[in-house]
């Protein structure tokens, strides 16, 4: 149970703006063969999607402070993000699993008021798909 909780926390943290990785934890747990792979993937996916949902909520909340001096993005950067998101729309969330760009993308989606149900659906598909590929490669190599 502790291993599953650790995996959940690692996946959650990896989906936030903290620079952490959950893939190593998942691979180590798959290799230990102490838990069913489907359970490990489900726990990792749930943690990662929940972390992304926190990003979405932060984006939704923090956008109201965009005109403040301390806000980390300029008006030009926000306009650029909005135009990029308008071009690619919710389908850009398929890249939410990509390191470096995926986490800020989920934050922008919240700020630009992406519908939460669609956000969760697409992000779950993207992040679950990444863990499925990782698990498949890990099992094929061993």
Summarize the confidence of residues 41-65 as an average pLDDT: 94
In tens, the pLDDT along 34-51 reads 999 999 999 999 999 999
Q: Which domain holds residue 92?
A: 2-141
pLDDT (0 to 100) of residue 133: 97
- 13 or 69, which is more confident: 13
Q: Is the model's pLDDT at 103 over the cut of 90?
A: no
What is the rounded CA–CA span in Å between residue 127 and residue 44? 9
Domains held by the chain: number = 1
* 73, pLDDT greater than 80: no
- The four Cα atoms 141, 1, 130, 99 give a dihedral, to 10 degrees, of -110
Model confidence, pTM: 0.88
């Amino acid at each position: 149970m502790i291993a599953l909780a650790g995996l959940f926390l690692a996946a959650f943290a990896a989906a936030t703006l903290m620079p952490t990785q959950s893939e190593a934890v998942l691979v180590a747990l798959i290799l230990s063969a102490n838990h069913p792979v489907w359970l490990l993937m489900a726990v990792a996916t749930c943690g990662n999607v929940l972390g992304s949902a926190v990003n979405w909520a932060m984006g939704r909340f923090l956008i109201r402070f965009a005109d403040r001096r301390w806000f980390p993005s300029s008006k030009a950067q926000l306009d650029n993000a909005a135009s990029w998101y308008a071009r690619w729309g919710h389908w850009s969330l398929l890249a939410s699993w990509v390191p470096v760009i995926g986490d800020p993308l989920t934050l922008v989606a919240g700020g630009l008021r992406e519908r939460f149900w669609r956000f969760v659906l697409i992000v779950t598909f993207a992040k679950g798909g990444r863990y499925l590929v990782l698990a498949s490669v890990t099992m094929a190599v061993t």
